[in-house]
Structure 1
Amino acid sequence: MKTFNGFWGVIMSNMIELLEQSWEKGRLPIMQGIVKKDGLYYEIKYEENRMKTANPIPFSFDFTGDDFSEIDSFFKTTINNYTLYCGEGSWGGDGFIYIEDTKTKQLLWCLFDDRINPIMKCSISKDKLIAENNNSIQYIFDFQNPEKL
């Protein structure tokens, strides 16, 4: 169960629930970053062809707007208690990774980036998630802490 404290906790909890509902409808917000179950958003930046994350901020998105991408999942696997999905968005160059608790369907973390191209498959090696796009470029994430690139 999610636990958020205070005013910002309620806002962040609502944002995560809206993200999960969007996922269930087959769409994700267009963003360039990672959202974790704790409600924090890490913008992804590129420096010298390396992916880096900015300092976290509370995830906030206008779920009534049009800034969504319809998604196609190309790959799905279960890892321990989690289900991992990856694929592309409707804009063509979008790639995403979405990981949820298999039983509760609650978000662990989600990445959406319109610069990485479709993510075609993922694998796990020790505690690392290795995502590969349609150009065979690999992105490596810590499974529990993807913001630590």
Structure 2
Amino acid sequence: MTKILTSFFILLIINGCSYEPILSKSYDFQFEKISANGEKKINEIINNNLKGKGEGPRKFDIYYTTRKDRQIISSDNKGDAKIYKINIYVEYEIFQNGKKIFGNQFVKYVTYNNINDKFELSKYEENIVENLSETISSEILLSVLSL
């Protein structure tokens, strides 16, 4: 019962102070041209997150390159993988009126245990890549907000 009341009061306080997540609104800029190289799935997720966010007068072009690799961190005595690590590398540049105004790079990674069912492992890895790609696109948006 106390958990329900506590949850209710927290929800009431958050609504009362008009809390709004930073990345949920439209911004005063937009990406006029988005160019990507590298991993197709990662690029698709980042593109989708960058396209619909801005509708302002400031116009930017963004060029980025993505790369993904999966490493075996730990193996058992038989040589089978026990722990994996997925790295996603993103390097991007922001241009305004043809001039580079900002550039940065991110490396995001997750380590995870092996799953015996290879289908489940591949689905889990797809989920990891999607989550990391969304995190990267959010960080790109935040970096453009600071310009």
Say which one has the larger Rg.
2
Which has more strand, going by share of residues? 1
Do they fold alike, i.e. is TM over 0.5? no
Question: How does the TM-score come out when normalised to structure 2?
Answer: 0.29
